[in-house]
Structure 1
Amino acid sequence: MIRLFLAEDQSLLNTALAQLLDLEDDITVVGTATDGQAAWAAISQLKPDLAVLDIEMPKATGLDVADLIQGAHLPTKVVILTTFAQSAYFQRAVKAGVAGYLLKDAPTDELVANIRRIMAGATVYAPELVQNMVTASTNPLSEREMDVLKAAANGQSTKEIAQTLFLSAGTVRNYLSAIFSKLGVANRMEAVNLAKRNKWL
């Protein structure tokens, strides 16, 4: 039986994923947390076989927790679940000895299969993430994200971008959030400036 601990700061996703994983015959979820500090406190006590950690969490990131697990020489293997394709994150995860670096939006059955592979001794990095790290100097944005960024560069508001691209305002906000995450920036101006410096725009 794989004793698994899950840390994810979005409580709905945390609960749903914990329930789905717990349905597997060979996995039992021994605990969950929605911030890094609580995750480390629980993991250091429970010493699970596997810790599935989100990167961005309050109080301590998943990578901070991975560092602590490694530093304490716990038997716990670490899987980082991420939407972030930043080379600095990936390099730090590798340095912390994580056994898996996987995409958060991958299907649950894929996550389960990878958990089993990792527990059998494999190291699993999502190919999409590795590709982004290897070509970190190239544009990590999708074609649609570039459409949104180009419209933002033209000074269009979220509502105007939505009308231009026939999207909802919420979808545009989601695209912008993804753009900021991938580029490691805080706002539109920074994203546009970075894209221009790299000659993507």
Structure 2
Amino acid sequence: MSTETDKPTPESTGDPKARTRAEVKAKRAERREERQSARAEKAATKATAAEEKQKAKAEKASAKESAKGSGGGGKEKSKGGGTSAGPAIKGGIDSLRTLVGQVVWIAAVVCALFLAVGALCIALDANRDNALVSFVLEGAETVSLGVFSVRGDGVFDFVGANSQIKNALVNYGLGALLYLVVGRIVERVLRP
């Protein structure tokens, strides 16, 4: 009766393929161990970085608390010309400038929209008795400021066939473009 230990192994018989397989298995095991150790090192590095970050946050929070505690009377400091109100005021002014810039841009877009839709209504010969069409055309004539008017005193005054459509498209189109360009420039100037 023979047991498995009595059986000759391919390595003991000198089989070259068996040695190669054994070497491959050993290299795989070695690479697997290297990857596991690299993962462990990476995890340790992340943990250390997280601890340092947490420690820095705690130090920052304690520094803020000590600064608040050592300030004494906050009202007296701001009356005396302290700098604690400076960033708050600057932030408020910056947000106000941003808001005003956005309002200017929105107003310019609305004016350009009135002009563009008004030109479209004239070009498509929309029913002027319709309340919406008459509202758009009146709004377009109002925001044209007389400079881009279609009634013959605009920037361009076409004569002949389809002159009213040409006047509307060119004058209202120029007006819309000017509103958008000027609105964007003013918005950029106002924004911090």
TM-score, normalised with respect to structure 1: 0.21
Asked which structure has the greater CA Rg, the reply is 2
Structure with the higher helix share, 1 or 2:
2
Structure with the higher strand share, 1 or 2:
1
Looking at both structures, which has the greater relative contact order when contacts are Cα pairs under 8 Å and sequence separation is at least 6? 2
TM-score, normalised with respect to structure 2: 0.21
